[in-house]
């Protein structure tokens, strides 16, 4: 689950923080009230962004890759549904961010996400598998046993899966790796937009572009621009705790 404050706090400074730090700063807090955005909803937004934004340096995704990006967090559907149910109980449980999930919990969600993407296309399955392989490889440096062993097993199993999937489709490994980069870019961009931070952010140099984002009123400004004109997106959110006045909202996201 992605947690978004009801009122986004003022930025800590006008400096540009790395985008992940901006997201992590919001997600590491406990909220008495907030908006809940499911991981599948965030992934769907990532797919929409991939279909409408872009730069000449970016690889152009086909329908299979776009669907893979839009489904890359499908495996979080069940745990997010459970979180929503618990937040609506007679004694509501405070929702936790996806960052608070244990290794077994997120590995199960990752595997289900990969299987969903694989059912759509071999190329999409490869890209989503490789995406989570990279996340696991990054985390393994800090995890202790037995979590480290779980992550090592995940890496080995996904390497075997990726080899099989690569053989079942026509894209080169270089192209598949490029589309994995694309997924990771739009994944981080969607997380940044969903969490509601007002902090200026700089994104890693995907495809040689250092994207910087500022938020002016309710419009996100991109430098360099990734779209020719202003675009509007929306993501579904549920209020915690449940309110008689408003229990849900389609949060508007404007990019100019």
Query: What is residue 138's predicted lDDT score, i.e. its pLDDT?
Result: 92
Low-confidence spans in the chain with pLDDT less than 70: 143
DSSP 23-81: HHHHHTS--SSEEEE-HHHHHHHHHHHHHH---TTS----HHHHHHHHTTTGGGHHHHH
Quick one: which of 66, 73, 160, 143 has its CA closest to 108? 73
Query: What is residue 217's predicted lDDT score, i.e. its pLDDT?
Result: 83
Please state, in angstroms and rounded to a whole number, the distance separating the CA atoms of residues 99 and 241. 20
Q: What is the per-residue pLDDT across 210-230, written as a single tens digit (0 to 9) for each?
A: 999 999 888 999 999 999 888
210: left (phi over 0), alpha (psi -120 to 50) or beta: beta
Query: What is residue 243's predicted lDDT score, i.e. its pLDDT?
Result: 87
CA 102 from centre of chain: 17
Contact indicator for 129, 114 with CB cutoff of 8 Å: yes
Query: What is residue 10's predicted lDDT score, i.e. its pLDDT?
Result: 82
């Amino acid at each position: 689950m992605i947690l978004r404050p009801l009122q986004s706090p003022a930025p800590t400074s006008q400096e540009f923080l790395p985008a992940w730090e901006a997201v992590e700063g919001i997600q590491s807090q406990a909220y008495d009230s907030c908006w809940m955005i499911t991981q599948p909803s965030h992934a769907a937004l990532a797919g929409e962004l991939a279909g409408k934004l872009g730069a000449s340096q970016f690889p152009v995704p086909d329908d299979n890759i776009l669907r893979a990006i839009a489904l890359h967090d499908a495996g979080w559907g069940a745990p997010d549904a459970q979180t929503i149910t618990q937040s609506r109980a007679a004694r509501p449980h405070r929702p936790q961010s996806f960052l608070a999930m244990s290794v077994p919990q997120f590995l199960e969600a990752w595997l289900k996400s990969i299987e969903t993407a694989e059912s759509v296309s071999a190329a999409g399955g490869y890209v989503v598998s490789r995406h989570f392989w990279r996340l696991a490889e990054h985390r393994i440096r800090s995890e202790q046993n037995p979590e480290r062993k779980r992550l090592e097993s995940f890496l080995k199993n996904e390497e075997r899966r990726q080899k099989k999937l690569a053989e079942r489709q026509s894209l080169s490994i270089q192209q598949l790796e490029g589309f994995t980069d694309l997924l990771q870019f739009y994944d981080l961009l969607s997380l940044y937009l969903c969490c509601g931070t007002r902090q200026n952010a700089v994104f890693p140099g995907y495809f040689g572009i250092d994207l910087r984002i500022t938020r002016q009123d309710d419009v996100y400004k991109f430098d360099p621009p990734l779209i020719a004109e202003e675009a509007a997106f929306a993501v579904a959110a549920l209020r915690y705790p449940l309110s008689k006045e408003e229990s849900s909202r389609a949060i508007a996201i404007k990019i100019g």
